Structure 1
Amino acid sequence: MNPVNVINTINSQTEQGITEVYLVACGGSLVDMYPSKYFLESEARKIVTGLYTANEFVHATPKRLNKDSLVIVCSHGGNTPESVEAAKVAKENGAHTIGLTHNNEAALLSYSDHAFVYEWGADTDVKNNPMAIILELVVETLHVTEGYAHYEAFQNGIGKINGIIKKGEQQVAERTKEFADNYKDEELFYILSSGASYGHAYGFAICSLMEMQWLNAASIHSGEYFHGPFEVTDKETPFILLMNEGRTRVLDERAKTFLGQYAEKVEVVDAKELGINTIADEVVEFFNPILFYSIMCVYRAALADVRNHPLETRRYMGKVSY
């Protein structure tokens, strides 16, 4: 499927053009949607945006959901009951639906007007992974409905990001091993970031550390760090800071300065250092989380290896009733 064709088709089927975009998923798939939420809230003048965990969308459905709404639902396996039900609810309310999954036989596809069965795995080009596909869909939506001045710069960024990631993964390979050795016995991590990447700070906490490593973790927005959370800063608590390139970098730099004074266990992952500033200034901030996802996969793999705790290990998910 082509994002350009899909959005043009949907927009032509509406009365007023696409007026709302709802991004709906659970867990890691919801995290993949956060950059798109940030993009639309930052760049759109008219389009209303909502980011929903699927079960909340089902039980607290937005009243303005209508036939000019676009609902994008993502589920990696395609059979997450809450996400499938959310797509069904969207259809029942007359909205246009796009489903994303890695499964050709997913139940989600039954309620998707248009479907993207995406690629997955370490060898795939990230532009064919859900985070980038969803971002392309919302950029196209803005471009078609309102116009987007930096559309070409964004497309150039899509063409560059995979190469940046591959170099970045090589750049951090040794650092991640050192990180894992240093922090293998820790039981609590705080993850900081801002802008489009705050969603990945949240995702690394709940998915990579809590789900996959059974470690306590919490995300903190760099802008909120100084409004309560910095009181837990000490020399014993580990912090991971994902530093963005773009408009919110100043928030991350402020946090870095404070951590440098009052903390000792700090791991800084800097998108600028990893080469993302080869993407145009006007759009670079939207690519930070795509880079961070892949880079932090290297971190979590190193941690899993040294802790002898495989990333696939679960005690509840898919094993008990919930």
Structure 2
Amino acid sequence: MLKFEHDTFLEYVGKEAVAKREEIEKVVDEISAKGYKNIFLIGSGGTIAMMYPFEYILKSNSTVEVHAEIAAELLVMNNRHLSKDSVCIFASVTGTTKETVAAAEFCKAKGATTIGFVAEPGTPLAEAVDYCISTGHEKHSFDTFFLHLQLLTFRFIHNNDEFPQYEQFAKEIALLPEGIVHALKTFDSRAEQFAIRHKDTGYHMLVGAGNLWGNTYSYAMCILEEMQWIRSKSIHAAEFFHGTLELVEDDTSVILFKGEDETRPLVDRVERFAEKITNELFIIDTKDYPLEGISEEFRKHFAVNLNWALTGRISVYLERERNHPLELRRYYRKMEY
């Protein structure tokens, strides 16, 4: 539906998702007490993109060793860091993504501890892992996964004596869905106007960095390419000036995802360049949206959740303007490959 169902969002993400806090903390505490060597964040397509923000968060906030791996590649690469002392975390909305399920079984066979985030319990991924955290339904799955991964990641960091603010962080994350709802109301008209303006645009550049790089990659590949059949390219802001800049012209659509972590200056640099060249620069900046009750020090982490929700409004308007259902596929899960 084009009209955002605020009450539904607050019920599923604001209430039900937050209610999983104790379950998630129990899982992390058990694993931390047992001990582990490293953490693997594993997924396919949109779910490996979902893991990239938390790889960045762990790398920039903790000494815990972390690896983000594409499930299919992990199965063939003989990763020497993967062992019985690894903690392997997976996500799949349907719980049936073949490569992700196979990777979970592969990691478990090596003796690793496995955690799966799924929508529905009883699915292959849910059955394959040691710990299954289910949303119970597919409504707002990614919004919920992001919130759960925030709790899980920062609990691991807290248990590693590197995040004494965890209790305050967890309390504030319960306020985040309400803040997101207010941001969506503010952004909605911009999302609609973007879709109207670009319904026939055949190519978009998407640029991001830091903990928003995963969202950048995901929106280009999973939404624009898979769900709308629009050619796109995701470019890391740190790499933009090593090739891609030469393709920018005055009518090139450049979409910048601006967050609030340490990499923001990298995106600022791209912005300064792009605004001199193209007339089609579109910026989604999480800093533009107040999040009531959220401490300034935590905003940079929550940019992931906020950015994801905002881009979702662009998607529904593209669907309408292009008369192209987001569920429509030609090949994905339609044929053998």
The CA distance in 1 between the partners of 2:261 and 2:120, in whole Å, is: 35
Provide structure 1 residue ranges, at least 5 long, that are not aligned to the other structure. Answer: none
Name the counterpart of 2:252: 237
Q: Which residue does 2:290 correspond to in 1?
A: 275
Amino acid at match of 2:56: Y
From 14, 27, 39, give the equivalent of 2:57: 39
Aligned: 1:11 with 2:32:
yes
Q: In the TM superposition, what is the alpha-carbon distance from 1:154 to its structure 2 partner?
A: 2.7
**Aligned ranges 1:70-89 → 2 under 5 Å:** 70-89=87-106
| Alpha carbons of structure 1 residues 224 and 276: separation in structure 2 relative to 1, 3 Å | farther
Task: Name the SS for the 1:34 alignment partner.
Answer: helix
TM-score, length basis structure 2: 0.89
Offset of 1:259 from its aligned partner?
1.3
- State how far apart, in whole Å, the 2-side matches of 1:200 and 1:21 are: 21
* Identical positions, percent: 29
Residues 23 and 71 in structure 1, CA contact (< 8 A), matched pair in contact too? yes
Query: Retained in 2: the 8 A contact 1:245–1:276?
Result: no
Aligned partners of 1:99 and 1:109 also within 8 Å: yes
Q: Give me the CA root mean square deviation.
A: 1.8
After alignment, is 282-291 or 264-273 more displaced? 282-291
Structure 1 residue aligned with 2:41: 23
Give the drift of 1:125. 10
Shift of 1:139: 1.2
What is the Cα deviation at residue 245 of structure 1? Answer: 1.9
Structure-2 separation of matches of 1:27 and 1:226: 26
- Alpha-carbon distance in 2 for matches of 1:27, 1:223: 22
The whole-number CA distance in structure 1 between the counterparts of 2:299 and 2:264 is 11
SS at match of 1:287: helix
For 1:214, the equivalent position in structure 2 comes to 229
Per-residue CA deviations over 1:59-108 (Å, capped at 9, x if unaligned) read 11421222221000111110111111111111111110001111222111
- Deviation, structure 1 residue 168: 1.2
Q: 1:256, CA displacement in angstroms?
A: 1.4
The amino acid across from 1:222 in the alignment is A
Counterpart for residue 204 of structure 2: 189
Describe the SS at the equivalent of 2:68: strand
Contact 1:239–1:265, Cα closer than 8 Å, also in 2: yes
Q: Equivalences for 1:158-173 in 2 at 5 Å?
A: 158-173=173-188
Distance 1:125 1:61 in 2: 30
Counterpart residue type for residue 157 of structure 2: L
Q: Distance in 2 between matches of 1:145 and 1:19?
A: 12
**Are the aligned partners of 1:241 and 1:252 in contact in 2 as well (CA < 8 Å)?**
yes
Worse overlay, 296-305 or 250-259: 250-259
In structure 2, stretches of 5+ residues that fail to align are: 1-19
Confirm or deny that 1:139 pairs with 2:154: yes
Q: Give the aligned length.
A: 315
Aligned counterparts of 1:185 and 1:64: Cα–Cα separation in 2: 46
Q: Which amino acid aligns with 2:29?
A: N
Letter in 2 for 1:21: I
Report the CA distance between 1:18 and its aligned residue: 2.2
> After the TM superposition, which segments of 4 or more aligned residues of structure 1 sit over 6 Å from their partners?
none
Superposed, 1:148-163 pairs within 5 Å as: 148-163=163-178
Q: Distance in 1 between matches of 2:91 and 2:78?
A: 17
CA distance in 2, matches of 1:6, 1:269: 35
Deviations 1:188-217 (A, max 9, x none): 101111110011000000001000000101
Deviation sequence 1:31-56 (CA, Å, 0-9, x none): 221111111111112x2111111111
TM-score by length of 1: 0.93
SS of equivalent to 2:174: helix
Q: Which amino acid in 1 is paired with 2:233? A: A
Deviates more, 1:250-259 or 1:49-58: 250-259
Residue 300 of structure 1 deviates from its aligned partner by 1.1
